[in-house]
Structure 1
Amino acid sequence: MADHVVDGANGFVASHLIGALVARGDSVVALARAGEEVVRRRVADALTTLHLNPALAEKVQVERFSLAEPELGTSTSEVFAEPCTYWHSAALITFFPRREAELHAVNVVGSANAAAAFSRHAKPGSRYVHVGTAYQHGTTQGKALEQWPEYGHPSEFRNDYEHSKRTAEVDLSRTELARKGAVLVARLGVMVGHSGTGRALSDLGIYDFIRVIALFARRTPGERVRFVCHPRAALHLTPVDGTVDRMLALAAGPLDRPVRHLVPSAAVPVTDVFAAISRHLPVELVAVTAADVEAEPFGRFEAIVNMRCKFTSPYFRYEYGFESHEDAEPPPVTPRILDLLISWYVREGLPE
């Protein structure tokens, strides 16, 4: 039986990770700010998504913790009683402005506290996995490489969230922990639901965009809405089931390549995403260039929708490339899977 410690346990990725771990018989200590009931419910939901027994959530040991405290606000002697794999998944994810200080406190200082606590208390043979984002590459041109990053100025990123995740990686790269080769950085793509059913317990990323579109489409059906997009814009949509499988395999293998991109080799064109949404909601989404909008300015309805989508639509305006290798690539999102993801969320995930 392997031992794992997972922080941010009630998060989307972490809850599915914990579900997969307990289902294979591993021992898991789940660290979360949320209460025990919330964590167990999230893990049970994740187990259901993964077609596993939700009752296995009762096997998880849940402990309160705080990234704001150097000792994580928990009993480190108990948490690190055995050699373990520590999964640092806790993060603040928001694209809203004026949250820079909060993002820095959680994603940068909090990440440093987690790594430091692990370094002080983890038993020999333990491993540290930092869950990051492939989009920490920011708006830098060219392919993002699987290597430790250099510091980037805030102006090089679409939002403060990306900048905070880059800074956390830079700080981690300078630790003794990284120099000893006991670290894996797992950079994830745009997380989506289960590849077999489309089920998703998340309102982030593409789901936030769908929610906004649905709000306007149902109020004013039949409208056309244009978004400025890069001609080759595509999103690295990453199903949670394939992602968890890859995370487990990489964390158990050699750590000679500490930074890995867990993104599919084939991204999904934004035009395909728009078409899938338009099939399931009474709206026509259209990808256009900035020159198109200059020639035909947004109407009032289009302008309002674009304003409400201003935190996710910037991701349509770039072409992304990520270095990746077959052992880290989750299966791609095919047209069938994309339709499942969109249709499930429109049917089951949207607020009434």
Structure 2
Amino acid sequence: MLTRLLLATALVAAPALAEARNIVVSNDDGLTSNVVALYKALKAEGHDVIVSIPCTGQSGMGGAVKFMRPLGPLSQDCHNGAAKKGAPGVGPIDREGIPAQDFNYVDGTPVMAVLYGIDVLAQKRWAKAPDLVLSGPNEGQNVGQIIVSSGTVNVVQYASARGIPAVALSAGVGTTDNTGLANPQSATVAALSAELVDALDAGAAGRSLLPAGISLNVNFPDDLAKDSWKLTRVGTYNAYDVHFTEDMSQSPVARAMGAGGQSLPGVVIDLNKAAPTPAQARDESIVVRDAITVSVMQPGYGAQDKHTTGIARKLINRLSGKK
């Protein structure tokens, strides 16, 4: 499986222009320089692209969905002028220079945004599901076990569970531009992401862009000159230390973000200063320092390998009174 995925991703060069694909782009940051650049890069390659993103930043919302709650008029402006207070709960983005026919917002979580793209917008335009869902590029890497709470990654989990090929894309925080939506680093990440789509198409040979039940978590290093592609795993080494504290003022990161000014409890994210073990050398949190990482994921939480299912089978036999 790893060999096939190696050939089907940007770990190999795509020799020719990819087939035009129907692509839904979503994220958890809302309207950003990164998503605008990705849209432009994909359109330049001939792909038909629908962008469906949250109205406001939704980092850390994971797979959250506001079930059975109608989305009424906006109670506040969307991020970076995507829509104004009082606008409908979903609709085309209303910012000058952004093509409203392709860019849409949802007053909800990242998963709600991608579902709007898949269930409503894609059906109206293509009368079918998209060929590919791309989530991101996120403003900040999603590496290690923090991906469990990542909206960027859970967008991909939902799409993959629907049987749609999906890839999570994450870059460094230096790709942010909340003024002109035109960070040069965003354009570089977008070009590399389009190269990834080309390579997926080259490996697909007319079939689905990824095998059923397989999705990818792709992370770009802070230094985009380090543009070699490496096959990695999510692994056990975590670049970030996520923990609950009774005093957020003790967290350097919380203080830097303006959230640690008072001695109040909360969940903080700090940098992990512990050195990796030799066994963690291929974990994406380590490799992303010097290369673009591509890690394989499966949708949801179901384990399919023989070892884990064998353990479960023995458990059921014990519970059933069998030896």
TM-score where L is the length of structure 2: 0.32
RCO (CA 8 Å, sep 6+): is it higher in 1 or 2?
Answer: 2
Q: Which has the higher helix share?
A: 1
